[in-house]
Each structure stands twice: as C-alpha cells, then as structure tokens.
C-alpha cells in the first residue's frame, strides 16, 4: 500500500506531509516525557523486523495480486503508539530514500495511512478494549484480527480518497474503492493472524513490554529483554536475507487495483514541478531500487520473464539486510536523540 508520487497532487501530498510531521512532533514530545531507555534497542530491532517483513509479498488466491504486512499494529502493541509511529515513519522513510519504494511526495500519505491509523486510532480504541488484560489467547487473536483489518481498511480507503482529492480521473472513486477494500480485507486477515502470533510470543516472554499486556505481568518474565531483542534481530536477518526470496511476483494490492481500473500498474508521472524534483532526489539516493542491485541493460533483457520462486538473489538478500541495518541505526539515533534532549532538560 505504498503510494507512488504519480497518485498525488502536490497540494494533497504537502497537506499530508504537514499532518504527518505534526503527529511525529507530538509523538516525539510524548516520548521525551516517558521513554524508557531500555526500550530504545527494542524500538530499533522491531522497526528492522517490520522492514524485512514488508519485503515478503504473499499471493492472494484467485486474484492475481499479492499483499504484505503493514506492521503498524505489531509496533503499536509492543512499543506503544508514540514509539510505534516513529518506528514506522523510519521504516517508510528508509524504503523511499534508499529503495525507491513509495514516493517522496507520497511519504507523508504513506506514514499517515500505515502509521497514524493503527497507532493513534485502532490501537487505543479497538485493540486495547478487545484484548483486555491479555490473559486470553482467544481475545488476543480476535483483537488482532479486528484491529488489523480495520487499520488496513482505513488505510486503503484513505489511499482512494487521497487520489480522488488529487483529481486523478483515471481512478474513479466507485471502481477504485470496490477493488481496494475487499482485497485489503483479505490481506488484513493474514496480517491479523501473524500479529496474533507475534503478540502471543511477546506476552509469554515479556508481557510488561505493552501497556495492554501489563495487567497480566507474571512475577518474573520468562525471557530477558536482551534475548527478546536478539531473537527479533535474528528473525530479521533470516526474513530479509533468505525468506525474501519467496516473495510473490504478483503486483501488490494497490498496483493490482490500479491495473484493474486503468489497464496498467502505474500512472503517468508528472514531468515538471516538485514531483520531478523529488523523483530526481530519489533516483540519487536509491542505492538498491526495488530491493535489488541496479540492473544493466543486458540483465534487464535476461530478466524479462518473471523469475521462479524461490529465486536466490544476492541483491535481494543484501537489500533486506542492509535496509534492516539502516532502519535499526536510524531508530537508535532517534531514540538516543530523545534521550539526550530529555537529559539536558532535566539539568
């Protein structure tokens, strides 16, 4: 559900950039007041894990499309809404800058759609009341499914509205929304199951990591926080370095919906103005576009046919590992920055 710049007008892109920056500023202020220093490494490794997880598209049967985890609910439940928003913003920024996944003009919209809805709306209003004290695996499963589905439905509908507000006549509201919503319902069901599995593990290992699970905290956690961080770090390396080979080659849900409406997976990009400037910047910063080495002309000819899966590609593994490390470093810098500012204010 990463939007490209071609879907947006500069006015809509700038508006959501402003809203997103305001939300990030608010989240940073709240973290400055109550961030536990021990949570900073977990923030980093969870952001890296979500980055790697988003590389794995899974096929939606009977549609010819695919989907991937959004990860916003996993981050919100484990880290809390404020840290989760900063982690998701870091993931999406790294994807846009270094892997050309999602446009720079659209980055504000992407953070809004994939971060603000799950962190600030769905987590406090849906997940926490449904999960209760976190003692019941059944309630965790139901809460995870319901919250992820709702978060993706809000995000998908927001994509439709952002394109409509941008006057993209190629994507009429009725046709576009009737394709986007049902498809992201299916994606949400899969992500909901994954979310429930991750949260159940975290609850059994370190239930105090989430305020929604804290009520069921045992006298002693069964797994040290360090081991939880190391475990997610290893899972991130495996996911980005090897499991990414198994990603579906079908277009993702947004590309599929655009193709069904317009006959092509992408709209024509703007040839002037801020969109062109941002595209030039992205082409310079993208070290591994589309999560692979930059192909030469001969390689492009050899790869005209869709590769079979699994396809062992060094470029994909490098992208998964390097991207995860960049996200990890980016979030650690943010956490340390917040820690430093808080320390100075206390002096």
Q: State pLDDT tens for residues 311-321.
A: 567 889 999 99
Q: Where are the beta strands (DSSP E) in 25-178?
A: 58-60, 65-67
Q: Quick check: is 101 in a domain?
A: yes
Whether 257 is covered by a domain: the verdict is yes
Q: Kindly compute the dihedral angle of the four CA atoms of residues 280, 284, 288, 294, in this order, to the nearest 10 degrees.
A: 80
Q: Does residue 123 lie in a domain region?
A: yes
CB 101 within 8 A of CB 290: yes
Residue at 111 is within a domain: yes
**Mean residue pLDDT across the chain:** 88
Residue 330 makes CB contacts below 8 A (sequence gap 6+) with 47, 90, 93, 94
User: Number of folded domains in the chain?
Assistant: 1
* pLDDT score of 342 more than 60: yes
Residue 311 forms part of a structural domain? yes
Q: Which has more confidence, 39 or 143? A: 143
pLDDT of 116-169, one tens digit each? Answer: 999 999 999 999 999 987 778 899 999 999 999 999 999 999 999 999 999 988
Decide if 330 is inside a domain: yes
- pLDDT at residue 303 tops 60: no
CA neighbor of 128 nearest in space, from 203, 71, 212: 212
In angstroms, rounded to a whole number, what is the distance separating the alpha carbons of residues 324 and 236? 7
**Which residues lie below 8 Å from residue 266, measured CB to CB, with a gap of 6+?**
4, 6, 255, 258
Look up the domain containing 165 and give its range. Answer: 5-293+307-346
pLDDT in tens, 155-206: 999 999 999 999 988 899 999 999 999 999 999 999 999 999 999 888 887 6
Residue-wise pLDDT for 266-285, tens only, equals 888 777 788 889 999 999 99
Residues 6+ apart with CB under 8 A from 136: none
Q: Which of 49, 94, 59 minimizes the C-alpha distance to 252?
A: 59
pLDDT band with cut points at 50, 70 and 90 for residue 215: very low
pLDDT of residue 269: 77
- Between CA 87 and CA 47 the distance in angstroms is 5
Report pLDDT for 212.
44
By three-state DSSP, how is residue 1 classified? coil
The predicted-structure confidence for 63-118, as pLDDT tens digits, reads as follows: 999 999 999 999 999 999 999 999 999 999 999 999 999 999 999 999 999 999 99
Q: What's the pLDDT tens digit per position in 223-245?
A: 677 888 999 999 999 999 999 98
CATH number of the domain at 167, please. 1.10.1760.20
Distance between CA atoms of residues 276 and 300, nearest Å: 24
Whether 85 maps to a domain, the answer reads yes
Q: Is residue 300 part of a domain?
A: no
């Amino acid at each position: 559900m990463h939007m490209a710049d071609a879907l947006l007008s500069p006015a809509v892109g700038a508006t959501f950039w402003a809203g997103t920056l305001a939300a990030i500023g608010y989240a940073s202020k709240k973290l400055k007041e109550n961030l536990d220093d021990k949570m900073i490494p977990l923030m980093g490794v969870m952001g890296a894990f979500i980055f790697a997880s988003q590389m794995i598209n899974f096929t939606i049967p009977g549609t010819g499309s695919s989907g991937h985890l959004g990860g916003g609910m996993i981050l919100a439940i484990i880290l809390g809404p404020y840290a989760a928003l900063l982690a998701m913003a870091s993931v999406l920024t790294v994807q846009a800058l270094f892997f050309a996944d999602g446009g720079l003009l659209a980055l504000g919209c992407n953070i809004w759609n994939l971060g603000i809805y799950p962190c600030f709306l769905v987590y406090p209003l849906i997940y926490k009341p449904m999960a209760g004290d976190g003692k019941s695996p059944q309630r965790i499963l139901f809460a995870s499914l319901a919250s992820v589905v709702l978060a993706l439905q809000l995000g998908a509908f927001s994509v439709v509205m952002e394109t409509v507000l941008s006057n993209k006549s190629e994507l009429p509201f009725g046709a576009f929304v009737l394709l986007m919503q049902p498809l992201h319902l299916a994606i949400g069901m899969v992500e909901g199951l994954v979310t429930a599995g991750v949260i159940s593990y975290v609850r059994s290992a370190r239930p105090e990591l989430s305020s929604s699970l804290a009520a069921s905290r045992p006298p002693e956690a069964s797994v040290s926080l360090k081991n939880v961080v190391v475990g997610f770090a290893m899972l991130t390396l495996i996911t980005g370095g090897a499991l990414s080979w198994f990603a579906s080659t079908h277009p993702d849900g947004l590309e599929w919906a655009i193709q069904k409406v317009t006959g092509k997976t992408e709209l024509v990009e703007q040839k002037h103005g801020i969109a062109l400037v941002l595209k030039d910047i992205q082409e310079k910063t993208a070290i591994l576009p589309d999560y692979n080495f930059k192909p030469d002309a001969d390689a492009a000819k050899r790869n005209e046919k869709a590769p079979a899966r699994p396809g062992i590609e060094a470029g994909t593994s490098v992208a998964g590992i390097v991207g995860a490390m960049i996200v990890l470093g980016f979030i650690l810098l943010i956490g340390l920055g917040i820690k430093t500012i808080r320390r100075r204010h206390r002096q």
